[in-house]
Each structure stands twice: as C-alpha cells, then as structure tokens.
C-alpha cells in the first residue's frame, strides 16, 4: 500500500511539473513575441504633462495613445480622418494609412498633426519687460 501511494504521488508531481513547464513556455513565448513587436519603440512619457511638439508623432502610435499624449479627444481625430473608431482604436497610424488611404502615403499622420495643432491654444505672448529706472547714487550720510 505504501508503494502504491508513492507511485501516485510521483505521477502527480511529474504531471504538475510538466503542466507548469508547459504554461511557463506558453506565456514566455507570448511575452517574447509581444516584446519583439514593440522593440525599438520609445516608451510613452511617464509624466502627465501634455505634449505640444507634433513632430514627435510616429507611425507605430495609435489614435488613443496620441489623444492622451496631446490632450485631443479621440473622436476629433477620428472625425478628421473620416474613419470610424469602432475596430480601429488598436490600429497604428501606419495600419490606418494602409487600410483607408493606400495611395496617399503619410496622409494620416499629416491630418493628425494638423488636427492637434488646431486644438492647441495659441501661445501666450510674453509681455515686454518694464524698463527699470536709472540707478541714482545714494547720498552719503553726513
């Protein structure tokens, strides 16, 4: 009886170890492919400050990412592109350009840049500095 329990435990340990190894391999490969897909792309900004330089927009970015980064509503960007948001939120700018404007390379990114610039507040002018009165010498005390 003691050897029978030992064999069952051994089979259970081997089975669970094999299952654990297979799960590790499966999720490890998924992580590897995800990392490979985004290799070379810069990380999103860690600060919550709104970006203003539209030259920082790249083809790998998505509309929701750009919307958050530049503070422009997603719907305004999709409306400017004349593209429905449904089914296109996870597509990159490059994929959207290939799908909706195949004969106009770079059109999507230019429309997005123009839309963002239109939504940005005009720069506030810096008031001119007040002229300082000329320095007068302090009279010496008698």
Cβ atoms of residues 108 and 115 within 8 Å: no
DSSP H or E run through 26 = helix 2-37
pLDDT confidence bin for 26, thresholds 50/70/90: very high
The pLDDT, as a whole number, for residue 45 is 56
In angstroms, rounded to a whole number, what is the distance separating the alpha carbons of residues 76 and 57? Answer: 17
pLDDT confidence bin for 39, thresholds 50/70/90: low
Residue whose tokens read 């592109």: 81
pLDDT confidence bin for 15, thresholds 50/70/90: very high
The pLDDT, as a whole number, for residue 8 is 86
The more confidently predicted of residues 127 and 10 is: 10
Q: Give me 139's structure tokens.
A: 């009279």
Beta bridge partners of 62: 92
Mind listing the pLDDT tens digit for each residue in 91-110? 999 999 999 999 988 899 99
DSSP one-letter string for 54-69: GGG--TT-BHHHHHHH
In angstroms, rounded to a whole number, what is the distance separating the alpha carbons of residues 30 and 107? Answer: 33
Residue 46: is its pLDDT beyond 80? no
Residue whose tokens read 């654990």: 20
């Amino acid at each position: 009886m003691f050897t029978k329990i030992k064999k069952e435990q051994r089979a259970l340990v081997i089975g669970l170890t094999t299952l654990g190894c297979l799960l590790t391999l499966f999720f490890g490969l998924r992580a590897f492919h995800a990392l490979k897909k985004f290799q070379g792309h810069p990380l999103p900004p860690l600060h919550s400050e709104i970006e203003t330089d539209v030259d920082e927009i790249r083809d790998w970015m998505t509309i929701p990412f750009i919307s958050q980064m530049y503070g422009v509503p997603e719907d305004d960007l999709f409306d400017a592109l004349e593209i429905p948001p449904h089914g296109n939120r996870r597509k990159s700018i490059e994929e959207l350009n290939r799908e909706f404007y195949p004969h106009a390379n770079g059109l999507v990114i230019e429309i997005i840049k123009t839309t963002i610039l239109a939504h940005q507040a005009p720069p506030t002018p810096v008031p001119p500095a007040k002229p300082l009165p000329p320095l007068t010498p302090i009279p010496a005390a008698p």
